[in-house]
């Protein structure tokens, strides 16, 4: 049986690895090879001195730093596509197929999650790992922990972790996938990826979206698949009302020394459908146990992404669950499930130069489209799009 690393084993090995360089994940997964470690990421930009006032302020300060960003790089063990490839792969999955070796997917998690959103550890059950799914399709992925989150460096002040800062981080990483820096650093030799497809979830999607607005030709992303993300008018209101609880109050033992701009979301139910029959309570419990932090400044700055990404020409897909409590059934938006046709019309103007914008709605899913009983279908769709959009 194919099993991905478990939460505890992975956390331990990963913590050791950051002290050295990338090393191979001792997973029992035969078809997939993962390496992990940190990448130094430079940022140099002007950000609001007081992010509580939003991004339109003219009171700016310069932030120049190099941050260690933790990532997991996974790829099929052997290049797929050679006919007569070894049988050992076939016992794991009958659906292996050829994927372009020249492309990689950059995976960016949502608020209060880590890269584990994409490798969701479920007691050896592979159902919820998009990374494992993609690998079995012959696809290469790089999932990283956001600045300040998980095993990535956490700035002393939360006010360094703002939308413009992390957008620069994501664009830097995407471009280092292209120029071969990441493959070399993660022990995979000379590997340049001609095409990088960004797959974000929620806040991760917001960051890709913001990067497309401020540097449409510099994102390093040839296409974007934005899950759990639309520009509904209610979101800036509801996310403020529901999300931010200072992390140090939520878990003093773990986060007691963080400034109150570092926030947590102790009640995870808004990330799932209100209909509890469409997801596993075990997943919900593990989600709660593995939650991490975010910062308040994403919410105070999110309105900056409510404008057209002029000049971004790559294909864009927005994918939401019809029962997304933050975006689709929120009373501030009318409390209706999302409708694909209406969303297509409403959302397309935010990507006016995209050569193909598509809104997709997954019936029955909540906000976390990777973590409910429909996950396998979500994964099949994401893999397919990542291979065919560009």
Write the Ramachandran bin of 188: left for phi over 0, alpha for psi from -120 to 50, otherwise beta.
alpha
Residues, the chain: 390
Q: Is 270 in the site for ligand NAG (CB under 6 A)?
A: yes
Q: Alpha carbon of 79 to those of 97, 102, 319, 384: distances in Å?
A: 11, 11, 30, 18
Q: Is 280 in the site for ligand NAG (CB under 6 A)?
A: yes
Beta pairing partners, 31: none
Per CB under 6 A, the segment of 1-9, 57-65, 199-207, 263-271 that binds ligand NAG is 263-271
String of b and e for 92-108 (b: at least 16 CB within 10 Å)? Answer: bbeebeebbbebbbbbb
Per CB under 6 A, the segment of 21-29, 35-43, 176-184, 266-274 that binds ligand NAG is 266-274
Strands 103-108 and 140-144: parallel
Beta pairing partners, 38: 70
Per CB under 6 A, the segment of 10-18, 186-194, 265-273, 332-340 that binds ligand NAG is 265-273
Give the pair of three-digit tokens for residue 363: 């019936």
Q: Is 269 in the site for ligand NAG (CB under 6 A)?
A: yes
User: Which residue in 267, 275, 288, 310 binds ligand NAG (CB under 6 A)?
Assistant: 267
Query: What is the smallest separation between the CB atom of 282 and ligand NAG, expressed in angstroms?
Result: 6
Lay out the site mask for ligand NAG across 2-41 (x = CB under 6 A, - = otherwise): ----------------------------------------
User: Which residue in 96, 131, 309, 317 binds ligand NAG (CB under 6 A)?
Assistant: 317
User: Which residue in 125, 188, 237, 303 binds ligand NAG (CB under 6 A)?
Assistant: 125
Q: How many CB atoms lie within 10 A of CB 140?
A: 25
Q: How many CB atoms lie within 10 A of CB 187?
A: 14
Residue 225, H or E segment: strand 223-227
Q: Is 303 in the site for ligand NAG (CB under 6 A)?
A: no
Q: Is 288 in the site for ligand NAG (CB under 6 A)?
A: no
Q: Are 107 and 131 in contact (CB under 8 A)?
A: yes
Q: Is 127 in the site for ligand NAG (CB under 6 A)?
A: yes
Query: What is the smallest separation between the CB atom of 242 and ligand NAG, expressed in angstroms?
Result: 7
Query: Which residues bind to ligand NAG, rule: CB under 6 A?
Result: 125, 127, 267, 269-270, 280, 315, 317, 356, 358, 385
């Amino acid at each position: 049986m194919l099993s991905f690393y478990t939460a505890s084993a992975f956390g331990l090995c990963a913590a050791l690895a950051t002290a050295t360089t990338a090393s191979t994940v001792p997973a029992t997964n035969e078809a997939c090879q993962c390496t992990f470690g940190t990448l130094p990421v430079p940022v140099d930009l002007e950000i609001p001195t007081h992010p509580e006032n939003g991004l339109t302020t003219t009171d700016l300060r310069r932030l120049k730093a190099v941050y260690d960003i933790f990532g997991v790089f996974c790829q099929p063990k052997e290049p797929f596509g050679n006919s007569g490839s070894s049988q050992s792969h076939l016992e794991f999955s009958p659906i292996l197929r050829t994927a372009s070796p020249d492309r990689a997917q950059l995976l960016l998690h949502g608020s209060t999650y880590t890269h584990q959103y994409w490798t969701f550890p479920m007691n050896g059950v592979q159902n919820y790992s998009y990374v494992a799914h993609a690998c079995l399709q012959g696809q290469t992925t790089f999932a990283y922990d956001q600045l300040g989150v998980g095993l990535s460096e956490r700035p002393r002040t939360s006010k360094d972790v703002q939308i413009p800062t992390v957008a620069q981080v994501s664009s830097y990483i995407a471009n280092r996938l292209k120029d071969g820096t990441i493959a070399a650093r993660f022990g995979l030799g000379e590997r340049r990826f001609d095409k990088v497809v960004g797959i974000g979830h929620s806040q991760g999607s917001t960051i890709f979206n913001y990067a497309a607005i401020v540097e449409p030709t510099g994102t390093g992303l040839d296409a974007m698949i934005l899950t759990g993300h639309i520009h509904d008018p209610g979101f800036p209101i509801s996310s403020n009302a529901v999300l931010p609880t200072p992390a140090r109050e939520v878990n003093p033992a773990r986060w007691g020394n963080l400034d109150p701009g570092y926030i947590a979301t102790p009640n995870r139910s808004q990330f799932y459908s209100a209909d509890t029959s469409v997801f596993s309570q075990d997943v919900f419990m593990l989600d709660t146990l593995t939650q991490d932090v975010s910062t308040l400044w994403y919410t105070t700055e999110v309105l900056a992404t409510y404008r057209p990404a002029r000049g971004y020409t790559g294909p864009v897909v927005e994918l939401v669950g019809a029962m997304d409590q933050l975006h689709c059934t929120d009373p501030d938006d009318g409390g209706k499930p999302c409708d694909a046709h209406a969303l297509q019309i409403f959302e397309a103007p935010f990507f006016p130069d995209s050569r193909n914008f598509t809104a997709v709605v997954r019936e029955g899913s909540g906000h976390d489209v990777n973590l409910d009983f429909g996950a396998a279908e979500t994964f099949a769709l994401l893999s397919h799009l990542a291979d065919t959009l560009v």
